[in-house]
Amino acid sequence: MSPLELFAATLGVIAVWLTVKQNWLCWPIGLVMVLIYSYVFYDYKLYSNMLLQVVYAGVQVYGWWHWTRGASTANGRPVTRLAPPPLLGGLLIGLVAGLALGAAMATWSDASQPWLDALLTGFSLVAQWWMATKREQCWPLWIVLDAIFVGLFVHQALYLTAGLYALFLLLAIHGWHQWRKSVAVAA
């Protein structure tokens, strides 16, 4: 565990807690966290997760913009629920992206967990997009992903990050409960 990993983990807890509370400050704090974690994951040869953090940086900026530009509720944009076709489409995109990235990492890199890392990355992009657009279904997807991430990070001896993702798992359960209470008309 490095001081950098500890700092990033602390920012991560703050960012996810603020997300659960639908506070727009989750996005700039999350931006700093993902930039630090991109370096940490590079150092541990989790290249798909490193790339994921870079993409997350862009999504953090988008989420910040999206949550603050539409003040139709006290918490900015309302929470909505995806209909089955876009829900399944998003999951299919996550699967295809994960398989393509896994094939690339297994072929052209020395990634330590090319397939699992890539599949988690593909589905995490979907979950992050749904979070940025305030879709209730981001939370159950995060619950599944965070549980798997805990195992991956324990395997990689990133124990602090594994603990962080265990906390993310608990926050995702809480977030799902909180967001379900504020779901607007289905979108």
9-41 pLDDT, tens digit each = 999 999 999 998 989 999 999 999 999 999 999
The pLDDT score that the predictor gives to residue 187 is 43
d(CA 63, CA 166): 23
Over residues 66-82, the pLDDT tens digits come to 888 865 544 567 899 99
Lowest mean pLDDT among 57-61, 67-71, 106-110: 67-71
What's the average model confidence in pLDDT over 36-60?
A: 91
pLDDT confidence band for 186 (50 / 70 / 90) = very low
Length of the chain: 187
The pLDDT score that the predictor gives to residue 66 is 85
The pLDDT score that the predictor gives to residue 70 is 60
What's the average model confidence in pLDDT over 116-133?
A: 94
The pLDDT score that the predictor gives to residue 49 is 87
What's the average model confidence in pLDDT over 76-104?
A: 94
Query: Computed from CA positions of residues 71, 75, 81, 82, in that sequence, does the dihedral angle turn out positive or negative?
Result: positive
Closest CA to 127 of 148, 113, 109, 112: 148
The pLDDT score that the predictor gives to residue 75 is 55
* Cα angle 23-28-33, degrees, rounded to a multiple of 5: 115
Torsion angle of the four alpha carbons 91, 53, 9, 128, in this order, in degrees rounded to the nearest 10: -30
pLDDT confidence band for 174 (50 / 70 / 90) = very high
Any long-range contacts for 157-162 (C-beta under 8 Å, 24+ apart)? 158/5, 158/40, 158/44, 159/1, 160/1, 160/5, 160/6, 160/9, 161/5, 161/9, 161/40
How far is the CA of 92 from the CAs of 50, 72, 86, 89, 125, in angstroms? 22, 31, 10, 5, 12
pLDDT above 70 covers a percentage of the chain that reads: 94
Q: pTM of this prediction?
A: 0.85
